[in-house]
Protein backbone atom coordinates (compact mmCIF):
# COMPACT_ATOMS: atom_id res chain seq x y z
CA UNK A 1 0.00 0.00 0.00
CA UNK A 2 1.72 3.13 -1.23
CA UNK A 3 1.35 6.02 1.17
CA UNK A 4 2.86 8.51 -1.27
CA UNK A 5 1.82 8.41 -4.89
CA UNK A 6 3.04 10.16 -7.99
CA UNK A 7 0.52 9.11 -10.59
CA UNK A 8 2.27 10.62 -13.60
CA UNK A 9 5.39 8.64 -14.46
CA UNK A 10 6.45 11.21 -17.04
CA UNK A 11 5.81 14.78 -18.15
CA UNK A 12 7.02 16.81 -21.13
CA UNK A 13 6.99 20.60 -21.11
CA UNK A 14 8.22 23.24 -23.50
CA UNK A 15 11.11 25.41 -22.35
CA UNK A 16 9.87 28.61 -20.69
CA UNK A 17 6.49 27.15 -19.75
CA UNK A 18 5.34 26.00 -16.34
CA UNK A 19 5.97 22.45 -15.13
CA UNK A 20 3.53 21.10 -12.55
CA UNK A 21 4.36 17.87 -10.78
CA UNK A 22 1.80 16.32 -8.48
CA UNK A 23 1.92 14.08 -5.45
CA UNK A 24 -0.78 12.56 -3.24
CA UNK A 25 -0.45 11.03 0.20
CA UNK A 26 -2.71 9.05 2.45
CA UNK A 27 -1.30 9.36 5.97
CA UNK A 28 -2.49 12.44 7.86
CA UNK A 29 0.38 12.01 10.34
CA UNK A 30 2.91 13.28 7.80
CA UNK A 31 4.09 16.71 8.91
CA UNK A 32 6.83 17.54 6.47
CA UNK A 33 7.05 17.22 2.72
CA UNK A 34 9.99 17.43 0.36
CA UNK A 35 10.88 17.30 -3.30
CA UNK A 36 14.09 15.75 -4.54
CA UNK A 37 15.55 15.88 -8.03
CA UNK A 38 17.57 13.05 -9.49
CA UNK A 39 19.81 13.03 -12.55
CA UNK A 40 20.94 9.72 -14.11
CA UNK A 41 23.81 8.00 -12.27
CA UNK A 42 23.54 10.44 -9.35
CA UNK A 43 21.83 10.36 -5.98
CA UNK A 44 18.69 12.39 -5.30
CA UNK A 45 19.37 15.98 -4.31
CA UNK A 46 17.14 18.06 -2.09
CA UNK A 47 15.15 20.70 -3.93
CA UNK A 48 12.52 22.26 -1.70
CA UNK A 49 10.40 21.42 1.32
CA UNK A 50 7.29 22.53 3.15
CA UNK A 51 6.02 22.09 6.66
CA UNK A 52 2.44 21.00 7.25
CA UNK A 53 1.71 24.33 8.94
CA UNK A 54 2.21 26.14 5.65
CA UNK A 55 0.45 25.93 2.32
CA UNK A 56 3.13 27.40 0.10
CA UNK A 57 6.90 27.69 -0.03
CA UNK A 58 8.83 29.42 -2.75
CA UNK A 59 12.50 29.27 -3.72
CA UNK A 60 13.40 31.01 -6.93
CA UNK A 61 11.76 29.23 -9.86
CA UNK A 62 10.43 26.48 -7.60
CA UNK A 63 7.24 26.64 -5.55
CA UNK A 64 5.67 23.86 -3.55
CA UNK A 65 1.98 23.98 -2.67
CA UNK A 66 0.37 21.88 0.04
CA UNK A 67 -3.35 21.17 0.27
CA UNK A 68 -3.78 19.27 3.52
CA UNK A 69 -7.50 18.72 3.18
CA UNK A 70 -6.95 17.01 -0.16
CA UNK A 71 -3.68 15.38 0.97
CA UNK A 72 -2.04 16.74 -2.12
CA UNK A 73 1.12 18.61 -2.90
CA UNK A 74 2.50 19.98 -6.10
CA UNK A 75 5.75 21.40 -7.38
CA UNK A 76 5.66 24.27 -9.84
CA UNK A 77 8.70 25.17 -11.90
CA UNK A 78 8.49 28.51 -13.69
CA UNK A 79 9.99 29.03 -16.18
CA UNK A 80 11.09 25.50 -17.03
CA UNK A 81 14.61 25.07 -18.38
CA UNK A 82 16.25 22.14 -20.22
CA UNK A 83 18.51 21.62 -17.19
CA UNK A 84 15.41 20.83 -15.15
CA UNK A 85 15.01 17.57 -17.06
CA UNK A 86 15.33 14.90 -14.37
CA UNK A 87 13.29 12.54 -12.22
CA UNK A 88 11.47 14.29 -9.39
CA UNK A 89 10.56 12.44 -6.21
CA UNK A 90 8.19 13.73 -3.60
CA UNK A 91 8.62 12.52 -0.04
CA UNK A 92 6.53 12.75 3.09
CA UNK A 93 8.00 12.65 6.54
CA UNK A 94 6.90 11.75 10.02
CA UNK A 95 9.82 12.09 12.44
CA UNK A 96 12.96 10.69 10.77
CA UNK A 97 11.25 8.51 8.21
CA UNK A 98 10.82 9.61 4.60
CA UNK A 99 8.29 7.83 2.40
CA UNK A 100 9.05 8.47 -1.25
CA UNK A 101 6.84 8.37 -4.28
CA UNK A 102 7.92 6.45 -7.36
CA UNK A 103 9.00 9.57 -9.20
CA UNK A 104 7.99 11.62 -12.24
CA UNK A 105 10.37 11.98 -15.16
CA UNK A 106 10.30 15.57 -16.41
CA UNK A 107 11.55 16.38 -19.86
CA UNK A 108 11.87 20.03 -20.79
CA UNK A 109 11.97 20.49 -24.53
CA UNK A 110 14.16 23.22 -26.00
CA UNK B 1 32.57 18.88 1.85
CA UNK B 2 32.86 15.62 -0.07
CA UNK B 3 29.28 14.64 0.49
CA UNK B 4 28.13 11.09 1.14
CA UNK B 5 30.57 8.60 -0.38
CA UNK B 6 29.52 5.15 -1.55
CA UNK B 7 31.53 2.28 -2.94
CA UNK B 8 31.56 0.49 -5.22
CA UNK B 9 29.58 2.51 -7.76
CA UNK B 10 28.79 -0.62 -9.75
CA UNK B 11 28.76 -4.26 -8.72
CA UNK B 12 28.06 -7.28 -10.87
CA UNK B 13 27.97 -10.63 -9.12
CA UNK B 14 26.58 -14.09 -9.50
CA UNK B 15 23.65 -15.46 -7.60
CA UNK B 16 24.70 -16.90 -4.27
CA UNK B 17 27.69 -14.64 -3.80
CA UNK B 18 28.11 -12.24 -0.89
CA UNK B 19 27.86 -8.54 -1.68
CA UNK B 20 29.06 -5.72 0.58
CA UNK B 21 28.16 -2.11 -0.06
CA UNK B 22 29.95 0.69 1.76
CA UNK B 23 29.01 4.18 2.84
CA UNK B 24 30.82 7.11 4.41
CA UNK B 25 28.34 9.73 5.68
CA UNK B 26 28.96 13.46 5.76
CA UNK B 27 31.22 14.34 8.67
CA UNK B 28 29.21 15.47 11.68
CA UNK B 29 25.97 13.86 10.55
CA UNK B 30 24.56 11.48 13.15
CA UNK B 31 21.79 9.80 11.17
CA UNK B 32 22.39 7.33 8.35
CA UNK B 33 19.90 5.69 6.04
CA UNK B 34 20.11 2.88 3.50
CA UNK B 35 17.60 2.93 0.63
CA UNK B 36 16.91 0.68 -2.32
CA UNK B 37 15.54 2.00 -5.60
CA UNK B 38 13.65 -0.20 -8.04
CA UNK B 39 11.39 0.67 -10.96
CA UNK B 40 8.35 -0.91 -9.35
CA UNK B 41 8.68 0.36 -5.79
CA UNK B 42 10.73 3.53 -6.13
CA UNK B 43 12.90 4.50 -3.16
CA UNK B 44 12.40 2.29 -0.13
CA UNK B 45 14.00 2.78 3.27
CA UNK B 46 15.84 -0.35 4.35
CA UNK B 47 17.39 0.69 7.66
CA UNK B 48 18.00 3.80 9.75
CA UNK B 49 20.89 4.37 12.19
CA UNK B 50 21.11 7.15 14.74
CA UNK B 51 24.41 7.69 16.56
CA UNK B 52 25.62 4.37 15.09
CA UNK B 53 22.71 2.42 16.57
CA UNK B 54 20.11 0.74 14.32
CA UNK B 55 16.78 2.34 15.13
CA UNK B 56 14.49 1.01 12.45
CA UNK B 57 15.28 -2.04 10.30
CA UNK B 58 11.68 -2.82 9.38
CA UNK B 59 12.46 -2.24 5.71
CA UNK B 60 15.17 -4.89 5.50
CA UNK B 61 13.58 -7.41 3.14
CA UNK B 62 15.00 -10.66 4.48
CA UNK B 63 17.56 -12.20 6.78
CA UNK B 64 19.89 -12.25 3.81
CA UNK B 65 20.29 -8.50 4.33
CA UNK B 66 22.32 -7.08 7.21
CA UNK B 67 23.73 -3.65 7.98
CA UNK B 68 26.33 -2.39 10.41
CA UNK B 69 27.67 0.94 11.51
CA UNK B 70 30.83 0.30 13.54
CA UNK B 71 31.62 4.01 13.86
CA UNK B 72 30.28 7.43 12.92
CA UNK B 73 32.09 7.53 9.59
CA UNK B 74 31.37 4.11 8.10
CA UNK B 75 28.49 1.77 7.38
CA UNK B 76 28.06 -1.43 5.39
CA UNK B 77 25.09 -3.17 3.84
CA UNK B 78 25.66 -6.85 3.21
CA UNK B 79 23.61 -9.28 1.15
CA UNK B 80 24.39 -12.95 1.62
CA UNK B 81 23.55 -14.91 -0.42
CA UNK B 82 22.59 -12.53 -3.21
CA UNK B 83 19.71 -13.26 -5.58
CA UNK B 84 18.76 -11.78 -8.97
CA UNK B 85 15.78 -9.97 -7.42
CA UNK B 86 18.23 -7.97 -5.29
CA UNK B 87 19.34 -6.14 -8.43
CA UNK B 88 18.67 -2.46 -7.80
CA UNK B 89 20.37 0.82 -6.98
CA UNK B 90 21.26 1.13 -3.32
CA UNK B 91 21.59 4.60 -1.83
CA UNK B 92 23.05 5.75 1.43
CA UNK B 93 21.94 9.08 2.94
CA UNK B 94 22.89 11.03 6.04
CA UNK B 95 21.44 13.90 8.03
CA UNK B 96 21.86 15.86 11.24
CA UNK B 97 18.34 16.72 12.40
CA UNK B 98 19.36 18.61 15.50
CA UNK B 99 21.26 21.14 13.44
CA UNK B 100 19.27 21.24 10.25
CA UNK B 101 15.89 22.84 10.58
CA UNK B 102 14.55 20.93 7.65
CA UNK B 103 15.86 17.45 8.51
CA UNK B 104 17.26 17.24 5.03
CA UNK B 105 18.76 13.94 4.02
CA UNK B 106 21.80 14.07 1.75
CA UNK B 107 22.20 11.16 -0.62
CA UNK B 108 25.26 9.48 -1.98
CA UNK B 109 25.62 8.62 -5.69
CA UNK B 110 24.38 5.07 -5.18
CA UNK B 111 25.67 1.58 -5.93
CA UNK B 112 24.13 -0.12 -8.94
CA UNK B 113 23.96 -3.83 -8.16
CA UNK B 114 23.34 -6.51 -10.75
CA UNK B 115 23.01 -10.10 -9.60
CA UNK B 116 23.16 -12.60 -12.45
From B103, which residue of chain A is nearest by alpha-carbon distance? A96
pLDDT at B41: 83
Asked if the model's pLDDT at residue A23 lies above 90, the reply is yes
pLDDT tens-digit series, residues B32-69: 999 999 888 889 999 999 999 999 999 998 899 999 99
Residues of B in contact with A94 (CB under 8 A): none
Q: Which residue has the higher pLDDT, B104 or A76?
A: A76
Q: Which residue has the higher pLDDT, B78 or A41?
A: B78
pLDDT at B1: 63
Question: What band does A2 get if pLDDT is binned at 50, 70 and 90?
Answer: confident
DSSP structural state of residue A84 = G
Tally of CA atoms within 13 A in the half-sphere of A104 that contains its CB: 24
Asked if the model's pLDDT at residue B99 lies above 60, the reply is no
Residues of B in contact with A103 (CB under 8 A): 42-43
Indicate the average pLDDT of chain A. Answer: 94
Inter-chain touch B109–A34, beta carbons under 8 Å: no
pLDDT at B98: 58
Give the Cα separation of A52 and A31 in Å (integer).
5
Inter-chain touch B48–A96, beta carbons under 8 Å: yes
pLDDT tens-digit series, residues A69-91: 999 999 999 999 999 999 999 99
A55-81 mean pLDDT: 97
Give the Cα separation of B111 and B46 in Å (integer).
14
Interface test with A, best of B6, B8, B43 (most A CBs within 10 A): B43
B90-102 mean pLDDT: 76
Residues of A in contact with B47 (CB under 8 A): none
| Whole-Å CA distances, B89 to A36, A71, A98, B21, B115 | 16, 29, 17, 11, 12
Amino acid sequence: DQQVKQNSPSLSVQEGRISILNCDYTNSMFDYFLWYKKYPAEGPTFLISISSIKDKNEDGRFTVFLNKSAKHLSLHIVPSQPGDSAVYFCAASAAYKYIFGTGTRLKVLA
Amino acid sequence: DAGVIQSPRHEVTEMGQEVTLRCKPISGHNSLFWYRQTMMRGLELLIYFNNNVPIDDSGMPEDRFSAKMPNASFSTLKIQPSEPRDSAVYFCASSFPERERTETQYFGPGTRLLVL
